[in-house]
């Protein structure tokens, strides 16, 4: 019986295989033996699992015994998981809102304002991700005034809920007229005067210029109707005695008889108008 001839393999293959073996096993790759025993055969097998890949080398001699050494390669890096990881948005706070407004980042400040109202409105609003009109009452006067004060400070008194409340009052609390005045609706290029809602976000104005309508920001989602806006505007935070006194003085200057008639008319107009035919089609 003649011994099996040694396995021929390229030098590059030997070098790559040696890199997987411990140093004290490198002698197994030699085709010549020192004790006269038949040369060994080197067989490579691979085992693949979900966790890792392993490469095994088995040395077979003429006898039934064999020696096995295994080199485990590290598990591949989960590239997909790393790519899916995203930076979480900053936690809404008055400090963050002030920084964004000071930097003129009105789009980001608008998002932060909306997130702040959700946080301030209570646990149910936080779980839901938006505020019901009935939850506005849970926002404290101090918190809502603090949000409004930042908008006033960084816009020269042209942005904020209190500004919108004043424009709303001047519009006799009619929301269609109010939306036109603050620029949430745009005039269409038609022969007959018509208006349509601006598309969010591209058609809204995210900078403060001379042409920016007073009260244009912050935005309030009216997709579910105007009651959320109404409850913000009628919140105790914006029931200013100065505005009421100024309105009373203005009525007195018009004369007693005419003033009385206008006062009666304004009482009826001041109540929120029924908007059963009003169907807002924007969401922001």
Residue segments in the chain with a per-residue pLDDT below the cut of 70: 1-87, 240-284
Instruction: State the residue for tokens 């006799």.
Output: 172
Nearest alpha-carbon partner for 49 in 69, 16, 73, 70? 73
**In whole angstroms, what is the distance from residue 176 CA to residue 276 CA?**
12
- Sequence-distant (6+) residues with CB within 8 A of 180 are 195
CA–chain centroid gap for 151, Å, is: 21
CA dist., res. 177 & res. 168, Å (int): 8
Q: Architecture of 94-238 per CATH?
A: Orthogonal Bundle (1.10)
Q: What is d(CA 37, CA 62) in angstroms, rounded to the nearest whole number?
A: 8
The pLDDT value given to residue 157 = 98
**Per-residue model confidence (pLDDT) at position 7:** 56
What does the alpha-carbon distance between residue 266 and residue 248 come to, in Å, rounded to a whole number? 12
For the segment 39-48, what is each residue's pLDDT rounded down to a tens digit? 544 444 545 4
Domain segments of the chain as ranges: 94-238
d(CA 217, CA 3): 91
Say what the pTM is. Answer: 0.59
Q: Is the peptide bond before 149 cis (omega within 30 degrees of 0)?
A: no
Question: Which pLDDT value is given to residue 240?
Answer: 67
Angle at 200 between CA 188 and CA 97, to 5 degrees: 130
CA dist., res. 108 & res. 105, Å (int): 6
Q: For the segment 169-196, what is each residue's pLDDT rounded down to a tens digit? A: 999 999 999 999 999 999 999 888 899 9
**pLDDT computed for residue 262 by the predictor:** 52
């Amino acid at each position: 019986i003649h011994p099996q001839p040694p396995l021929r393999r390229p030098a590059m293959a030997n070098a790559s295989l040696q890199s997987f073996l411990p140093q004290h096993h490198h002698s197994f790759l030699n085709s010549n033996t020192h004790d006269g025993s038949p040369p060994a055969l080197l067989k490579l097998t691979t085992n693949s699992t979900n966790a890792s890949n392993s490469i095994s080398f088995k040395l077979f001699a003429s006898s039934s015994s064999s020696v096995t050494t295994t080199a485990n390669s590290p598990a591949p890096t989960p590239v997909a998981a790393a790519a899916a990881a995203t930076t979480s948005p900053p936690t809404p706070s008055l400090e963050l809102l002030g920084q964004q407004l000071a930097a003129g980042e009105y789009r980001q400040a608008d998002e932060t304002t909306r997130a702040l109202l959700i946080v301030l409105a209570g646990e149910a609003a936080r779980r839901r991700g938006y505020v019901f009109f009935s939850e506005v009452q849970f926002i404290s006067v101090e918190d809502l005034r603090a949000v409004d004060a930042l908008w006033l400070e960084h816009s020269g008194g042209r942005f904020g809920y209190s500004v919108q409340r004043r424009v709303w009052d001047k519009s006799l609390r009619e929301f269609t007229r109010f939306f036109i005045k603050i620029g949430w609706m745009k005039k269409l290029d038609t022969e007959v005067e018509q208006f349509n809602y601006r598309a969010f976000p591209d058609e809204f104005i995210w900078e403060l210029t001379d042409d920016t309508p007073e009260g244009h920001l912050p935005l309030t989602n009216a997709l579910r109707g105007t009651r959320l806006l109404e409850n913000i505007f009628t919140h105790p935070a914006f029931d200013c005695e100065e505005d009421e006194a100024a309105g009373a003085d203005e009525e007195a200057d018009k004369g007693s008889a005419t003033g009385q008639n206008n006062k009666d008319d304004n009482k009826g107009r001041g109540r929120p108008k029924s908007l059963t035919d009003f169907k807002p089609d924007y969401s922001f």
